[in-house]
Amino acid sequence: MDVAENTTMANHVLLSTKELVLALYNYAGQVGDEGSVRDLISYVLAKLKEWFLHLWHFVEQLVCKFDELFPPDTRAEKLYHWLAVATPFLVGALVLFLLFCCCKKCCCGRSVRMMRAPGRGGTLIPRNIFARNPKLYFQNLHAGRSIEEIF
């Protein structure tokens, strides 16, 4: 089984999902007051069963490919080897990720603390400008001035 077969199977599963949605939409349009709910439920269950069978076949092909790449008699040695090869890269990626998360707040964050503007529907404004003169802010708010005019 090659990549083209996997792609074909994945496309088939997606296509059958789209077909299911379209068929349900068309069937729901046909079912009126005289249509029964049981017919609709049985139709949906039949289409879901068909979809799951396609999905099951796709998973079986992936398992076969895994068995082909890692035969059961040498699987443990190969997986251990690949784990030993990948561990330094995984540790390095984890360290870089943690450094990014820690430094993001101080290096990449806003240099000015922001707050939600009172009476403006959650618009963000610099906190120091509001704290410097709240009375002027509320005067501008009641006068109908936009935030762009104030700052």
Task: Identify which has the larger pLDDT, 120 or 30.
Answer: 120
* pLDDT value, residue 13: 57
Q: Determine the Cα–Cα distance for residues 59 and 66; give it in Å rounded to an integer.
A: 11
Residue 47's domain spans which residues? Answer: 1-69
Task: Say which DSSP state 34 is in.
Answer: S
| 59 closest CA partner among 6, 3, 127, 114 | 6
Q: Are residues 62 and 91 in the same domain?
A: no
The mean of the pLDDT values for the chain is 78
| 111 closest CA partner among 128, 130, 96, 132 | 128
Question: What is the pLDDT confidence band of residue 24, given thresholds at 50, 70 and 90?
Answer: low
Q: At what angle do helices 3-30 and 37-69 cross, to 10 degrees?
A: 180
Q: Are residues 119 and 141 in the same domain?
A: yes
Q: Are residues 61 and 104 in the same domain?
A: no
Express each pLDDT in 63-113 by its tens digit: 999 888 888 888 889 888 988 999 999 999 999 998 888 777 666 655 678
Q: Are residues 3 and 41 in the same domain?
A: yes
Q: Give this prediction's pTM.
A: 0.37
What's the number of domains the chain is made of?
Answer: 3
Q: Are residues 78 and 140 in the same domain?
A: no
